[in-house]
Amino acid sequence: MFSFFKKKDTLTPVNYESIAVDMHSHVLPGIDDGAQDVGQSIDLIIRMMESGIKKIIATPHVMADYYRNTPETIGNALAILKTELKRQLIDVEIEAAAEHYFDETFEARVNEHKLLTMGDNYALFELSFISLPMNVIGVIQRMRELGYKPILAHPERYSYLDIEQLKNLRDWGCDLQINTISLTGYYGKDAKKMAEAMVDNEIVDFMSSDMHHLRHASAFRKALDTPYVQRLLQDYPLKNILLK
């Protein structure tokens, strides 16, 4: 009989304005498996803005094999996108860094100070989905020694890592970034469960879209209806805002 308390319009409206910054996305045109042309970039960016995002940090893949992006390829794609945003009078702040793949070339790139960073020297990297590389902790330590602040992308998606291992990585000074849409079940039950466990254990440092295409954009909007995302947006010490 108290069902009127549950009416949707009695809930606090929620969007991504409280975190403002999305720091993991593939919205630069034509340089990885995200937006393939500038029209697709704009479509994704408009969807993100409609959900309350104020600033977007694009993070194209940097890999030895598939996407051999460099500061030049990334800078060029960013310039093309900025020109089009300006032409269409779309007012959004956009920067670029990278999502570095932890392959056999990664440690060398760390040692040569070649990582593309965001904010106060934050460096986003991802692991293989198959197995944990042997030297992860060593490389994280090295990154810290060199002044980088490592952020592991979507830890909830590596099925070989359990919550204790994630806590351990974080204790070594590696921040953890979950994909917002993991909390909708977009990547399956296991990733959803792990993302929820990470929220419950208070080990989520950043939350971002990992936006590649319009299916991600739809899930990103839908994620606003999930209690865990609402919790992260309303009462949780996320660091996204540090990148403003």
Q: Which of 32, 99, 156, 205 binds Fe ion (CB under 5 A)?
A: 99
Nearer to Fe ion, 133 or 141 (CB): 133
- Strands in 21-22's sheet, in edge-to-edge order, are 21-22, 55-58, 93-96
CA gap 101, 125 in Å, rounded: 6
Cβ distance to Fe ion smaller for residue 153 or 238: 153
Task: Examine residue 210 and tell whether it contacts Fe ion (CB under 5 A).
Answer: yes
The CB-of-34 to Fe ion minimum distance in angstroms stands at 8
User: Angle at CA 161, nearest 5°, toward 158 and 166?
Assistant: 110
Beta carbon nearer to Fe ion, 205 or 210: 210
Whether residue 128 contacts residue 64, with contact meaning beta carbons closer than 8 Å, is answered with no
Tokens for 98, please give them.
Answer: 């990278």
Number of residues engaging Fe ion in binding (CB under 5 A): 2
Q: Give kind and range of the element (H or E) at residue 219.
A: helix 214-222
Residue type, 154: H
Q: State how far the Cα of 101 lies from the Cα of 19, in Å rounded to an integer.
A: 26
Residue 212 C-beta: closest distance to Fe ion, Å: 7
CB-CB contact of 232 with 207 (8 Å): yes
Sole window of 40-48, 90-98, 117-125, 203-211 interacting with Fe ion (rule: CB under 5 A):
203-211
Q: C-alpha 71: how far from its chain's center?
A: 19
Nearer to Fe ion, 143 or 153 (CB): 153
CA 117 to chain centre: 13
Burial class of residue 227, CB neighbours in 10 A (0-12, 13-18, 19+): exposed
Q: Which is nearer to Fe ion, 62 or 229 (CB)?
A: 62
Of 7-15, 62-70, 99-107, 199-207, the segment contacting Fe ion by CB under 5 A is 99-107
Question: Segment contacting Fe ion (CB under 5 A): 7-15, 71-79, 93-101, 131-139?
Answer: 93-101
If one asks whether residue 32 binds Fe ion (CB under 5 A), the answer comes out as no
Window contacting Fe ion (CB under 5 A); options: 155-163, 177-185, 204-212, 234-242: 204-212
Q: Which residues bind Fe ion (CB under 5 A)?
A: 99, 210
